[in-house]
């Protein structure tokens, strides 16, 4: 019985080709930077990539991913920090939304998520925390699942590790107050998502937009395309609902017994 269910976002809940999307992402940001007077917009984009790589590799538990990125970024690029931070905020407010045309909602995902939430499980958006919360929320909205009350969305403001580090998954379990063995990780990346198994989580590999680099040795506990995931999650949530009904009935019966004593 799973106490928590973790879902990757891009390629799992959201129909998106991230390699193509990131190309359009940097193009949009670069054009916007040039339009706002950043003379070396190309250098700006190059430094974002370098600092993102540093952030992904960092495993310091005492500093958030955001702080790792910002500290490295501003230590390497001689730009006005206040102006640049304002630019990033403006980009995610006005530029990032223009990228919606490169993504789409998967049919059936919203219905699946409704069932998961109805089961009472803790639900996590376990996307690689290299983006700010605003960019993740927008992609959740594009996937038509942005309105659900998630227990955790792993943005770079709150997390201290990135995929593919196993510590990322342990941090999620610790945050939720559950054992990794009581968690299920659902994702489409054989390396970044299945590494959750190293801390004891069960894994489901979604194969519709499968990312398999060929050298990844992790084996999922379950795998299949989205229809298979929907059927699997229905079985999982049915078990949880039966457990909830049984627990409620037991509590009511116990209360009735005490009342008649």
Whether residue 254 is predicted with pLDDT greater than 70 in this model: the reply is: no
Could you say which of 100, 119, 144 is where a domain stops? 100
pTM above 0.85, yes or no: yes
Confidence of residue 248 (pLDDT cuts 50, 70, 90): low
Regarding whether 64 and 12 lie in a shared domain, the answer is no
User: Measured between alpha carbons, how far is residue 185 from residues 3, 77, 189, 256 in Å?
Assistant: 12, 37, 11, 40
CATH code, domain carrying 226 = 3.40.50.1000
* Within a domain: 159: yes
Spatial CB neighbours of 220, under 8 Å, sequence gap ≥ 6? 190, 194, 197, 203, 204, 205
Domain that holds residue 116: 4-16+104-250
Give the pLDDT confidence of 112-160 residue by residue, as tens digits: 999 999 999 999 999 999 999 999 999 999 999 999 999 999 999 999 9
């Amino acid at each position: 019985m799973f106490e928590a269910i973790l879902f990757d976002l891009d390629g799992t809940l959201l129909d998106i080709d991230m390699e193509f999307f990131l190309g359009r992402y940097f193009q949009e940001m670069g054009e916007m930077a040039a339009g706002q007077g950043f003379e070396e917009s190309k250098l700006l984009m190059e430094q974002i990539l370098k600092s993102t790589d540093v952030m992904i590799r960092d495993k310091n538990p005492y500093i958030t991913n955001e702080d790792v990125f910002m500290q490295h970024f501003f230590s390497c690029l001689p730009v006005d920090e206040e102006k640049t931070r304002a630019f990033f905020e403006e980009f995610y407010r006005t530029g990032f939304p223009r990228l919606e045309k490169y993504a789409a909602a998967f049919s059936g995902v919203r219905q699946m998520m409704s069932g998961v939430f109805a089961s009472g499980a803790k639900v996590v958006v376990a996307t690689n925390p290299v983006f700010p919360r605003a960019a993740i929320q927008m992609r959740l909205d594009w996937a038509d699942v942005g309105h659900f009350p998630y227990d955790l969305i792993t943005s770079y403001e709150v997390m201290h590790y990135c995929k593919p580090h196993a510590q990322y998954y342990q941090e999620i379990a610790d945050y939720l107050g559950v054992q990794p063995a009581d968690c299920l990780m659902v994702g489409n990346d054989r390396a970044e998502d299945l590494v959750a198994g190293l801390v004891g989580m069960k894994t489901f590999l979604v194969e519709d937009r499968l990312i398999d680099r060929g050298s990844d040795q992790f084996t999922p506990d379950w795998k299949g395309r989205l229809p298979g995931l929907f059927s699997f999650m229905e079985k999982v949530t049915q078990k949880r609902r039966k457990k909830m009904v049984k627990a409620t009935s037991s509590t009511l019966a116990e209360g009735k017994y005490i009342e008649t004593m």
